[in-house]
A and B are shown apart, each in its own frame.
Chain A
Amino acid sequence: MGKTLSEKILSEKSGVAVKAGDIVISPVDLVFVQDTTGPLTIRQFKAGNKQSLAVPEKTALFIDHASPSPGRQLSNDHLFMREFASESGCLLFDAGSGVCHQIVAEKLAKPGDVIVGADSHTVTAGALGAFATGMGSSDIAVAMSLGKTWFRVPETFQIQVTGSFSDGVGAKDLILYLIGMIGADGATYKALEFTGNTIDNMPLTQRLTIANMAIEAGAKVGIFPSDNVTRAYLKGMGREKSYMALKPDPDAIYERVINIETHKLEPLVARPHTVDNVAPASTLSDVKVNQVFIGTCTNGRLDDIAETADVLKDKHVFKGVRLLVCPASQRVLIESIDAGYIKTIIEAGGIILPPGCAACLGLHQGILGDNEVCISTANRNFKGRMGNPEGYIYLASTATAAASALRGKITDPREVL
């Protein structure tokens, strides 16, 4: 019987031929935490009888969510993590390195890997053909200690994407469209597996945007085949040796098949306070924005910074609007500086934030005031997400966010292209 990508990877790793619905114990190729889940994970690890890491070089700590720290307690959490890294010998990516998921994509994830992280957006690495999913601190502590975890093998929704995007429309609009269609719990416990000629031709950076938001439909993983696009990305990161081709069997069994024709898509926005509350950007032009946030593990890569600079070149951010731009990693920041994008954005009135999660989760670097509106390229618009339950968050593509920064209101990017 044919296998989906998830069934293939979990069968290969566990050494048992598994199918959807089976319970499987699988070794993990990478296990990681970040600074808001890490301290509890380390405490759970220390509450375990086994006090050593299964594989220190496959265990990583990231300081990205509150980075650099905005307060004393978080600084002490960071100290606690650095101390653990030093005593256990695991990898540490300290403040300024960037968002964990971006660094995992750049430096660590490989096609066919099983990756677990104490962060729900661990699904991002599915873009490289890895079975990657988020878990809580207890599960991650046990994976760190035993080098394995248990899964229920997910049923799979095959998402067939065909055609070319119109100008001003892209991967973010595609995933918002899908979430709007199936709902915030439409894929709970399921794998989303992407295929079709749009996907074949889609750069890996955009696959990362889509995989990243699989969790916003409740999915366990958002997974892509590993192909020449994957190989080219890994080569660009100096990791071509990590490449392995991977595709589902032609006779794999899917619980549901969803077809999306990209030429029918338009720029979309998720309105407060759920990600599935999706509407065309063109219908929201009466929504004034106070803050525009471009960055995060969803849309903080070099092509996002390039697109922002492109929209803003020789123009200026609307009076009174704060434009926050945060490259997702040190590498993205350096490449953006070299390409001149950072200068363009600063000259247009933008604020550059250090690589990390920045304003995304309401800890620092852009907390909303009462009744303020932010249009953000992040992945969540839950009430209270950006530090204030009286704030309003709209999610959109980089093009839509940058266009909105110019006009001071939600703007269909096709109006400024």
Chain B
Amino acid sequence: MSNNSLKGKAFKFGDDISTDLIIPGKYAHLRSNLPELAKHAMEDANPDFIRKVQPGDFVVAGSNFGLGSSREHAPLVIKMAGVSAILAKSFARIFFRNAINQGLPVLICNTDRISEGDMLEVSLDKGIITNNTNKETYNFTAIPQTMLNILNEGGLIPYINKHGDFKL
């Protein structure tokens, strides 16, 4: 990652945010038109999200974020909305891997003390989240090295194009 410090405000969600809440199957007809598809990111979880989100902002959630479908469009539309990282207590397995493969940081941390609208700063290098609204700091679990290598190349396709193979 060229810029290892991320800054923006928090959009807070609950537990079990499914891929159907992130980008429902009913928009499958837009999956070959990603800019149009991205306009519906998180629509059924928070209809105002896409109107309010600014580049750099964070999606902050509870446990098991991204459960359900393998659709890589889910992390993709969140990234296209300008989100710089997703913070959650835990992630569903396929979503986590898909986000890394799309070059979108997914950080496991306790999100209880983060509220909607809080101004956050994330240092990916130091593993620290600073909440500039309530002046607290939080640690996040280190991303496994295999996945960090992929994230650092901007995603799986750029990683494979550079290395020609898995170099785990």
Contacts and interface: CB of A to CB of B under 8 A. Distances in A.
Interface of A: 23, 25, 36-37, 39-40, 44, 47-49, 65-66, 71-74, 76-77, 80, 117-120, 122, 134-139, 141-142, 145-146, 148, 150, 152, 184-185, 188-189, 218, 220, 274, 361-363, 367, 380, 382-385, 387-389
Interface string B117-152: 000000000000000000000000000101000000
Contacts of A118: 70, 72
B28 A36 contact: yes
Contacts of B155: 138
Nearest to A77: B32
Interface string B56-95: 0000000110011111110010000000000000101110
A13 to B, nearest CB: 14
16 contacts: A40-B31, A40-B72, A117-B70, A120-B94, A134-B94, A136-B97, A138-B156, A138-B157, A139-B156, A142-B160, A184-B16, A184-B67, A218-B93, A274-B16, A387-B24, A387-B26
A134 B72 CA distance: 11
Contacts of B111: none
> Which A-B residue pairs are the 4 nearest by beta carbons?
A136-B72, A136-B98, A361-B25, A138-B101
A37 B92 contact: no
B48 interface: no
B28 A65 contact: yes
A262 B160 CA distance: 47
Nearest to A148: B166
B64 A185 contact: yes
Interface string B6-32: 000000000010111100111011111
Which of B16, B31, B63, B70 is packed against the most chain A CB atoms within 10 Å? Answer: B70
Contact of B72 (A137, A148, A363): A137
B68 to A, nearest CB: 6
Contacts of A137: 72, 98
B161 interface: yes
Contact of A47 (B72, B76, B97, B157): B157
A137 B73 CA distance: 9
Contacts of B30: 73
A37 B71 CA distance: 6
Interface of B: 16, 18-21, 24-26, 28-33, 44, 63-64, 67-73, 76, 90, 92-94, 97-98, 101-102, 144, 146, 155-157, 160-161, 164-166, 168
A2 B161 CA distance: 38
B135 to A, nearest CB: 31
A146 B31 CA distance: 25
A135 B68 contact: no
Nearest to A367: B26
Contact of A142 (B16, B24, B157): B157
A136 B101 contact: yes
Given A73-B33, A138-B72, A185 B20 contact: no
A384 B21 contact: yes
A49 B164 CA distance: 8
Contacts of A48: 157, 160-161
Interface centre among A150, A189, A382 (most CB of B within 10 A): A382
A80 B32 contact: yes
Given A48-B160, A142-B156, A142-B157, A218 B67 contact: yes
A220 B67 contact: no
Contacts of A39: 31-32
B70 A218 contact: no
A36 B101 contact: no
Given A118-B70, A138-B157, A383-B44, 6 more contacts: A36-B28, A49-B161, A120-B70, A134-B94, A363-B29, A388-B26
Contacts of A146: 160, 165-166
B92 A188 contact: yes
Nearest to A277: B16
B31 A218 contact: no
A68 to B, nearest CB: 14
A36 B71 contact: yes
A148 B73 CA distance: 23
A148 B160 CA distance: 12
Which residue of A122, A138, A152 has the most chain B CB atoms within 10 A of its CB atom? A138
Nearest to A217: B67
Contact of B70 (A74, A119, A142, A363): A119
Given A118-B70, A136-B72, A142-B160, A77 B64 contact: no
Contact of B18 (A76, A77, A134, A382): A382
B44 A150 contact: no
A337 B61 CA distance: 48
Nearest to B164: A49
A135 B97 contact: yes
A76 B31 CA distance: 11
B25 A36 contact: yes
A139 B71 contact: no
